[in-house]
Amino acid sequence: MSGDHEPGDPSIDGDTSFGGKVTADGGGALTGLFAPERVAVVGATDREGSVGRAVTENLIAEFDGEVVPVNPSRDEVLGLSCVGSVADADADMAVVAVPPGAVIDVVRECGESGVRNVVVLTAGFGETGAEGADREQQLRSVAAEYDLNLVGPNSLGVMSSPRGLNATFGPDAPPAGGVSFMSQSGAFVTAVVDWAKEQGIGFKDVVSLGNKAVLDETDFVRAWGDDPDTDVVVGYLESIDDGRAFVDAARETTDDTPVTVVKSGRTDAGAQAASSHTGAIAGSDRAYEAGLDAAGVLRAESVQELFDSARALAGGDVPESDGVAVVTNAGGPGVMATDAVGDAERLRLASFDDGTVESLSEALPDEANVYNPVDVIGDASVDRFREALDIALRDPDVGSVVVITAPTATLDFGELGEMIADAADEHGVPMAACLMGGGRLADARDVLRERGVPSYFDPARAVGGLESLAEYREVRGRSYPEPEPIDADRERVREILSSVTERSDNRLGVEAMEIFDAYGIPTPEGAVVDDPAEAERIAEGIGEEVVMKIVSPDILHKSDIGGVKVGVPVAEVGDAYEDLVSRARNYQPDATILGVQIQELIDLDDGVETIVGSHTDPQFGPLVMFGLGGVFVEIMEDTTFRLAPVGRDEAAEMTEEIEAAPLLRGARGREAVDLDSVVDAVRRVSQLVADFPSIVELDVNPLVATPDGVRAVDLRLTVDPEELESQS
C-alpha cells in the first residue's frame, strides 16, 4: 500500500475508473469502495458492543490494506494507533460510525481531505422522521459538493472478498466467490452471509445500501457490470429510486452479467410494510414488473428462489436450447423433475433423436428407460451414469440437464460428483444436480459446490435453477433498438392539452379525439358538433345510422346517464341531439356541455374491443397497457404493461402475451383482426404519452380492431397542469 500519497491525489486510486461519482450517465467500477488501500474508521473504539468496535475488528481481521482508527479521545484502538481526525488518516476510504449529529461534519472533512469513498453506518437519518430527513438532505448536499462515493447512511457497510475487506459491523465475512450482492436490508446481509457459509455460496462484493442517500442500486448494478470478478449480481431491493436510470444501467450489465433480484413489497400488504420500513413511496408492482423486465433483470419471489437462481447463473454457461434432459437413477424423482419441467414457462422436456435413443439402448440395461427422463436404474454405477449423461448431452435438442440421484448402495458419491462436474466442464452444457438425500450424498454435494455445479435436494428447485438460465439466455439475446420514430403533429397535441388550463377540470374526453389524428391513430368518421342541424348534416355524410355521445368534461361516465346513443337513424339525429343535451342538463345543471359527438357506427360483430391505456409511475415514468375490452380487463385482469414508448416488436409481444390473444387471431371461427394496425396503434399511443409527460393517465377504450384495421372510439385522459406548465 502506498501510504505516502497526498490525500486527494487521484493516483492513490490504483484503478483508472475509480473516484468519479458514478452518475446515471457515467460509468465506473466503484473500485475505491471495494478495494481501498487504507481505510479510516471514524468513531473507532474499544467499547464492547459498539458499532465502532465491531467494524474495526472486522477490518483488522482479514483486510490486506491498512486500517486507521480515527478517534480524538483515544491514542490507540484495538492495538492500532489512532489519529484525531479523518484528515490525518491519509486514507482513500472512510467508514463513519459517529453519532448522527456528528456525521455531516465528518463527511465534509472527508471531502475536504480528499477521501472520496465514504460508508456511513450511522442510523438516524431519513428512516426516522423529519429531523432525520433533513439531516439526510444535508448529507446529500455535502456528498455532491465533494463528489463523494457515499454508501448509506444507516448501512451495515460493505465487504469485498478479494482484498479481505469487511467494512461492516456484522458478525461474519462471507466466503469468497463470484456473487456480488446489494441489499436494502442490513439484517438480510447478515442473514445471507451466515447462511451462505452453510450453502457454499461465495461472494465477490457485498453492499448494504442503507438509505441510499447517494449511491443506489443503479450505481452498483452498473459498477458490477464492469467487474470481471462478478459472475452474477444479486439484489434485495425494496424500492428503485430512478427506474429509467436503473433500466439503462442494468441493460448494459445484463448483456454479459446476469442480475437477479427480489423486489419486495410485491403485494399490497408488502408494499405498505416496505414503505414503512424504508420511507420510500411505492410505485405499483406492475410498473416494477415492467421495469425489471425491460432492464433484463430476473425477478425472484423469495430468498430461496433468489439464491437458487444465483447459484445456477454463477456457473456461466447458458443453454442453447430450452430442451431439458433428465437423467436419474430413481424413477419417482425423475417424474417429479419432469413435472417441474412441465410447469416451467421457458423449459420443455427435450425430445431425443433416434441416434440418442439407440445409443442409450445399447449403453443401458433392458429395464432402463431410454427416453427422456432417462432412468439408469437404481443399481447404476458411476460409469453407467456417465455414459448415459454423455449420450444425452450430445443430443442436439438438449440445452440443459438435470442429474438426479437417490442414496444407493452402488455409488461412490464423491466420484459421482466429480463425474458430473467433469461432464459439465467438457460439454459446456448447463447442468443442475438433484441430490435427493442427506448425509449419504454429502460427498457429492461438497464436490459439486467446490466445482461450481449447483445442486439441490428438490427436483423442482433444480429445474428452477435451469429456468433462470433459460430466462437469462433470452435476456442476453436481446437488443434494445430505439422505437421506430413516429411522424406526429406534436404542436396540435400541445394546443389541445393546454385547453385544460382554461378549465377547472384536468380531464379530457372525446373532445380531445383530435389527439389521435395528430398521432396517426385511426378514429371513426365523425365530428363534435354544437347544434342539431349540424349534427344532421354530419350524420348524413357518414351513413344510415350513427353513434351519438354527449361531450362534456363534467360527465365522465356518459353511458350511466344515457349520454350515448348507438345506431341512431339519420332522420332521428336532430331529436337525439336535443335529448342528449337535456339528459346532461338534468344530470348536472351546471355542466359544461361542449356539444355532441356524431360517430360512424362500427360493427362490433366483426371486431374485438381492445383497450390501450397508460399511466405515469413515480419510479418508471409512463407505462403503456394493452388488453381486451370489457370483462377481460375488468374481471379477468388480462392485461400487459411496458415502459413507454414501445417499438413494433414490443407492441407485437404485448398483443401476443395476453391470455385472450387467440381472440385477436381469429379464434372460434372468426376472421383475424388486422394485427399490424393494433400493434401500430399501441406504439403510437405509447409514443404520445412518452412525448407528453403531462398526460398522467390515458385510456383508449375501446380501440376496436376489425379485419380491416382499428378505430379509437373513445378517449379519457388526465393532464397534470403543473407538468403541462413546465413543458410549455
14: CB partners within 8 A, 6+ apart: 31, 35, 37
What ranges make up the beta strands (E) of 415-454? 431-435
Interactions with a copy of itself, residue window 267-306 (CB under 8 A):
267-270, 272-274, 276-278, 301-304
- Contact between 724 and 497 (Cβ < 8 Å): yes
By CB under 8 A, tell whether 46 contacts a copy of itself. Answer: no
- Quote the distance between the C-alpha of residue 515 and its chain's center: 32
> Per CB under 8 A, which region of 109-117, 335-343, 516-524, 539-547 contacts a copy of itself?
335-343
Interactions with a copy of itself, residue window 461-480 (CB under 8 A):
461
Binding-site member from 56, 218, 230, 329 for a copy of itself (CB under 8 A): 329
C-alpha cell at 45: 473504539
Paired with 697 in beta bridges are: 615, 718
- Quote the distance between the C-alpha of residue 657 and its chain's center: 18
Reference 127, options 238, 229, 254, 201; nearest CA is 238
> Per CB under 8 A, which region of 68-76, 364-372, 466-474, 672-680 contacts a copy of itself?
364-372
CA-to-CA distance for 353 and 359, rounded, in angstroms? Answer: 10
C-alpha cell at 625: 397497457
By CB under 8 A, tell whether 58 contacts a copy of itself. Answer: no
By CB under 8 A, tell whether 662 contacts a copy of itself. Answer: yes
What is the H or E stretch that residue 363 is in? helix 354-363
By CB under 8 A, tell whether 49 contacts a copy of itself. Answer: yes
C-alpha cell at 377: 436404474
CB of 342 to a copy of itself, least distance (A): 3
Interactions with a copy of itself, residue window 497-516 (CB under 8 A):
none
Interactions with a copy of itself, residue window 614-643 (CB under 8 A):
630-631, 634-636, 638
Binding-site member from 4, 367, 487, 603 for a copy of itself (CB under 8 A): 367
Binding-site member from 195, 353, 474, 728 for a copy of itself (CB under 8 A): 195
By CB under 8 A, tell whether 365 contacts a copy of itself. Answer: no
Interactions with a copy of itself, residue window 70-109 (CB under 8 A):
none
Return the amino acid letter for 709: G
By CB under 8 A, tell whether 130 contacts a copy of itself. Answer: no
> Per CB under 8 A, which region of 61-69, 610-618, 659-667, 720-728 contacts a copy of itself?
659-667
Of 236 and 692, which has the nearer Cβ to a copy of itself?
236
Collapsing DSSP to helix, strand or coil, 395 comes out as coil
Reference 592, options 538, 563, 550; nearest CA is 550
Q: By rule CB under 8 A, what string of x and - marks binding of each residue 223-262 to a copy of itself?
A: -------------x-x-----------------------x
CA-to-CA distance for 539 and 575, rounded, in angstroms? Answer: 13
Residue 346 to residues 372, 463, 473: CA-CA distances in angstroms? 18, 11, 10
Binding-site member from 72, 79, 99, 669 for a copy of itself (CB under 8 A): 669
CB of 204 to a copy of itself, least distance (A): 19
CB of 718 to a copy of itself, least distance (A): 22
Of 266 and 492, which has the nearer Cβ to a copy of itself?
266
CA-to-CA distance for 290 and 320, rounded, in angstroms? Answer: 26
By CB under 8 A, tell whether 666 contacts a copy of itself. Answer: no
Of 141 and 199, which has the nearer Cβ to a copy of itself?
199
> Per CB under 8 A, which region of 25-33, 164-172, 313-321, 680-688 contacts a copy of itself?
164-172
- Concatenating the DSSP letter of every residue in 138-161 gives HHHHHHHHHT-EEE-SS--EEEET
What ranges make up the beta strands (E) of 545-594? 545-551, 564-569
Q: Alpha-carbon Rg of the chain, whole angstroms?
A: 31
Interactions with a copy of itself, residue window 381-440 (CB under 8 A):
406-409, 436-440
- Contact between 166 and 63 (Cβ < 8 Å): yes
- Quote the distance between the C-alpha of residue 717 and its chain's center: 27
Strands 545-551 and 564-569: antiparallel
Of 437 and 693, which has the nearer Cβ to a copy of itself?
437
Of 408 and 592, which has the nearer Cβ to a copy of itself?
408
By CB under 8 A, tell whether 30 contacts a copy of itself. Answer: no
CB of 316 to a copy of itself, least distance (A): 25
Of 428 and 630, which has the nearer Cβ to a copy of itself?
630
Paired with 1 in beta bridges are: none
CA-to-CA distance for 247 and 709, rounded, in angstroms? Answer: 34
- Contact between 413 and 441 (Cβ < 8 Å): yes
> Per CB under 8 A, which region of 241-249, 372-380, 523-531, 562-570 contacts a copy of itself?
372-380
By CB under 8 A, tell whether 216 contacts a copy of itself. Answer: no
CB of 124 to a copy of itself, least distance (A): 9
> Per CB under 8 A, which region of 197-205, 528-536, 566-574, 692-700 contacts a copy of itself?
197-205
Paired with 619 in beta bridges are: none
